Amino acid sequence: METLRETLVALVDLQRLEDELRDLRVAKAELEAMRRDNAEALAGFDAMLAAQVERIDETKTFYAEKEQEIHETEDNTKRSRARLTHITNQRELTALNKELDAQRRQIQQRNEELLKLMEELDAAEADRQKKQDARQTLQSQMVALEAELAGRVEVREGRAAEQMKRRAEIRAVLDRQLVARFDRIAKARDGVGVADVVDGTCSGCKIQVPPQQFIRLQRMESIEQCPSCVRILVYFTGVDGLSAGGPEVAAQSAE
Ligand SMILES: [Zn+2]
């Protein structure tokens, strides 16, 4: 490093690269969690739908059984009627009429049951269809959200190799002890070893820096650390002015 200002520029670059690379790690973890959560939610939905289909199938089986019972009773009725011609006395006729009555009532009752079952089936089927549609909508939304996040991860991943290369370059030219200090602070402070100063306040811990230190920070002639969180403090606005076009620009943007 030629000058202290160059060191400050390098420190800010280093922190920004660390931020970018951390954002990539966070986005990747988010994507993984999102895919896992979505798959779980869909599996839950599918299990619910499968249980519903099973109940509908059971009702259909029950319906078929009732229908079969009606057919059997109708066959019995036919046989009973056939016996009418062989009847020889009133007692037999009364008994046969009683039998036919019972069969008619049974058929009527079964038909009422069938009607009720049919209504139940229609309602269950409509509900199943509604849930099926909801599942499709949910899945489409999930796919869209996953794709959006995956796209952002991809963009970041595309930049990561270059960012890691630049990070290594900056670390190589910076003073080794300063890099070690940066690493120590970053490790203890959520990966942020270098903090900006905004309106006289450390952006790392949001605590005001002493006015004298703020003046020194604006001069960009020393390595300063926040008295509260010990992060290396850099006046980013001034540093950005330096890399944009020299001290004059820095002076302007500092105003
Ligand atoms: Zn601080």
Strand order in the sheet with 194-198: 201-202, 194-198, 232-234, 224-225
pLDDT one-digit tens code per residue, 107-153 = 999 999 999 999 999 999 999 999 999 999 999 999 999 999 999 99
Please give the Cα distance from 136 to 106 (Å, whole number): 44
Judge contact between 194 and 218, C-beta under 8 A: no
How far is the C-alpha of 107 from the C-alpha of 110, rounded, in Å?
5
φ and ψ at residue 197, rounded to 5 degrees: -115, 115
CA of 189 to the centre of ligand 1 (A): 10
What is the whole-number distance in angstroms between the Cα of residue 149 and the centre of ligand 1? Answer: 32
Distance 209 CA to ligand 1 centre (A): 8
Q: What is the pLDDT of residue 248?
A: 46
Beta pairing class for 201-202 and 194-198? antiparallel
Q: Which CATH class is domain 4-173?
A: mainly alpha
3-state helix, strand, coil in the chain (%, to 5): 80, 5, 15
Check residue 84 and give its pLDDT.
Answer: 87
Q: How far is the CA of 163 from the centre of ligand 1 (A)?
A: 26
Per-residue pLDDT band at 252 (split at 50, 70, 90): very low
Does residue 244 have a pLDDT over 90? Answer: no
pTM of the full predicted structure?
A: 0.75
In the chain, where do the E strands start and end?
194-198, 201-202, 224-225, 232-234
The pLDDT value given to residue 219: 94
Give the start-to-end residue ranges of the domains of the chain.
4-173, 176-254
Closest by CA position to 12, among listed 210, 217, 160 = 217
> Cβ(98)–Cβ(90) under 8 Å?
no
Distance 213 CA to ligand 1 centre (A): 12
pLDDT in tens, 26-81: 999 999 999 999 999 999 999 999 999 999 999 999 999 999 999 999 999 999 99
pLDDT at 251: 42
pLDDT in tens, 70-108: 999 999 999 999 988 898 999 999 999 999 999 999 999
CA dist., res. 253 & res. 255, Å (int): 5
In angstroms, what is the span from residue 236 Cα to ligand 1's centroid? Answer: 14
Report residue 202 as tokens: 């450390």
Q: Residue 2 — pLDDT band, cuts 50, 70, 90?
A: low
Question: What pLDDT is recorded for position 236?
Answer: 96
SS3 category, 13? helix
CA distance 16 to 182: 13
pLDDT at 249 over 60: no
Instruction: Tell me how far the alpha carbon of residue 250 lies from the centroid of ligand 1, in angstroms.
Output: 23
End-to-end CA distance of the chain: 28
CA 125 to ligand 1 centroid distance, Å:
62
- Answer for the pair 65, 176: CB distance below 8 angstroms, yes or no: no
What separation in Å is there between the alpha carbon of 227 and the centre of ligand 1? 7
CA of 135 from ligand 1 middle (Å) equals 48
Which amino acid appears at position 175 of this protein? D
Report DSSP state, residue 202: E
The whole-number pLDDT of residue 242 equals: 83
